[in-house]
Amino acid sequence: MKEFKFKGLLVNKIWQENVSIMIDNDGVIQSIKNSNDGLGYSDFAIPGFQNAHSHSFQYAMAGLAELHDTKPNQNDFWSWRNAMYDLALTINPDQLEDIATMLYKEMLRNGYTHVAEFHYLHHDISGNKFNNISENGERLVSAAKKAGIKITLIPIFYQMGGFGKKPEEKQRRFISANYIDYVNLLDASKKSANRYSNASTGIGIHSMRGVTEKDIIHLSEYRRNNTPFHIHVSEQLKEIEDCINHLGQRPVEWLANNIELNENYHLVHATHINKKEISKIAKSKANVVLCPSTEGNLGDGIFPLKEFLSENGRWSIGTDSHIGLNPLEEIRLLDYGQRLITHNRNTFGNNISGDNGSIAIESSFINGKKSMGEDQDVFFQIGQKFDALVINESHPLINQTSFKNLSNTIVYSSDISSYKGTIVNGDWVIIEGKHKDENIEANFRSTLKTLSKR
């Protein structure tokens, strides 16, 4: 048994003071008790953040797509995608594992304790299947195990090069030729996930342009129970125009009319949706996964969050291409984008509470858990694993803040310098910014040097 004693523990929107938590050897919470003795209590704990969208290999190119062409109309998502393809065609499994391990360590350092890996780098550099068709997925699971983060591996069905188009040559590492190929990949991925007790799997398709409509429906019917289903949707205006031309409907409109959307569907980005689509998503209880640092970096656009929240829409956050890795930054960018276009500062607030910081932490946690295939409505409960981001009470700004203002101070006015560390399954995986495995950084540096991209 192990005991943690916190000066404050955030349980949904309420701070509990002087809390003792008893953890068994498997990291499961056995008891949560309040005390007034004031002895040995320090720091503040909030739940570990859920990173609901990650392309791990893209971490190797963070910051490299910013030397822009001076010609007009050459610096959009599609030009960035070409740079991403060039990187994807050079990484071998060992290098992928080194990159992902470093990335996952950095996620932990920033307060994430679980990641949904939207994985489509399936084949070798020539586009041929590995002997183990889940070779790269298995490397991602291994990376998560080395770093100590929980992972939901989502092998992605990628079949087409666009609506009605064959795959492009540069997409050769991503492609499953048909539905049966993808199901075989999914089965192999489940075996890979079984190698790590903190790994699970989900299913997903790259995008509506990436899979035939017949197979989108087929895969949706294949999904069972609370298995999460992830898909990129409505990220780019061109994608919507092409969808209308090919299917006669907008992307989210088509999804809502052809599959039974529910709380287990996670629509990544959904940047360009209209009022009718907002209502369809909200009514179905499907979740949108917002990645503000990447969406801003790519110039995607601004998601209509205020309208979505007015219909009780559900959202979580992800870091996507990993141009940014701090969950607090994702929340702030999401909020400030709305403030700039609505001229209203109460983005997340509702008729019950205007405590934006607590609401944002709660929404990103509960809906983030759903993206991993887990139902958890309360942050810390007896019988659950203890995962937490610990805020250092000695940080000057934090030290003098009341519980009334603490959540908002953490979300809006702090950064990694205020963190004490990150706990996963009752163990410190990051303490004072340090990870126990010093080889992670050395291996990552060696891989970047070999890739010669930077």
210-248, pLDDT tens digit by residue?
A: 999 999 999 999 999 999 999 999 999 999 999 999 999
Of residues 40 and 38, the one with the higher pLDDT is 40
Please state the domain count of the chain: 2
Structure tokens at 297: 């970096």
Please say which residue of 342, 371, 400 terminates a domain: 371
Whether residues 217 and 280 fall in one domain: yes
Tens digits of residue pLDDT in 165-218 = 999 999 999 999 999 999 999 999 999 999 999 999 999 999 999 999 999 999
Work out the average pLDDT over 379-405.
97
| Residue 141 shares a structural domain with residue 256 | yes
Q: Do 276 and 364 belong to one domain?
A: yes
Residue-range definition of the domain harbouring residue 393: 2-47+379-435
Catalytic residue selected from 320, 335, 355, 387:
320
Do 273 and 357 belong to one domain?
yes
Q: Is 269 a catalytic residue?
A: yes
Answer yes or no: 26 catalytic: no
Shared domain for 311 and 401, answered yes or no, is no
Do both 143 and 260 map to the same domain?
Answer: yes
Residue 422 within a domain:
yes
Whether 452 maps to a domain, the answer reads no
Asked whether residue 251 falls in the same domain as residue 188, the answer is: yes
Dist CA 49 CA 261 (whole Å): 25
Please check whether residue 387 lies inside any domain of the structure: yes
Environment class of residue 30 by beta-carbon count within 10 Å: exposed (0-12), middle (13-18) or buried (19+)? middle
The closest alpha carbon to 317, from 341, 285, 346, 295, belongs to 295
Contact 131, 440 (CB under 8 A): no
Among 170-179, 267-276, 350-359, whose mean pLDDT is lowest? 350-359
- Rounded mean pLDDT of the chain? 96
Q: Quick one: pLDDT band at residue 66, thresholds 50, 70, 90?
A: confident
pLDDT of residue 407: 97
164 pLDDT above the threshold of 80: yes
pLDDT at 453 over 90: no
Together in a domain, 383 and 365: no
Stated as kind and residue range, the H or E segment containing 32 is strand 29-34
Q: Are residues 154 and 300 in the same domain?
A: yes
Catalytic residue among 123, 206, 269, 272: 269
Residue 103 clears pLDDT 80, i.e. is over it = yes
How much is the average pLDDT of 271-290? 98
CA dist 15 and 34 (Å) reads 11
User: Is residue 20 domain-resident?
Assistant: yes
The sheet carrying 388-391 orders its strands as 29-34, 14-23, 2-11, 44-47, 388-391, 419-424, 427-431, 434-435
What is the pLDDT averaged over residues 293-298? 95
90 and 196 share one domain: yes
The pLDDT of 380-401, averaged and rounded, is 97
Contact by Cβ (8 Å): 32, 394: no
Is 7 contained in some domain? yes
Longest dimension (CA), the chain: 68
What lies within 8 Å, CB to CB, of 222 at 6+ separation is 183, 203
Q: What is the CATH number of the domain that holds 153?
A: 3.20.20.140
Of 319, 345, 371, the position where a domain reaches its end is 371
Identify whether residues 140 and 275 lie together within a single domain. yes
- Clarify whether residues 60 and 43 are in a common domain: no
* pLDDT of res. 24: 98
Last residue of a domain, one of 316, 339, 371: 371
Res. 354: pLDDT tops 90: no
- Check which CATH number belongs to the domain holding 20 and give it: 2.30.40.10
- Decide if 263 contacts 287 (C-beta within 8 A): yes
Domain contains 443: no
Question: In Å, how far are 14, 38, 183, 406, 412 from 397, measured between CA atoms?
Answer: 20, 21, 51, 10, 12
In a domain, 444, yes or no: no
> Residue 350 pLDDT > 90, yes or no?
no
Q: Is position 90 within any domain?
A: yes
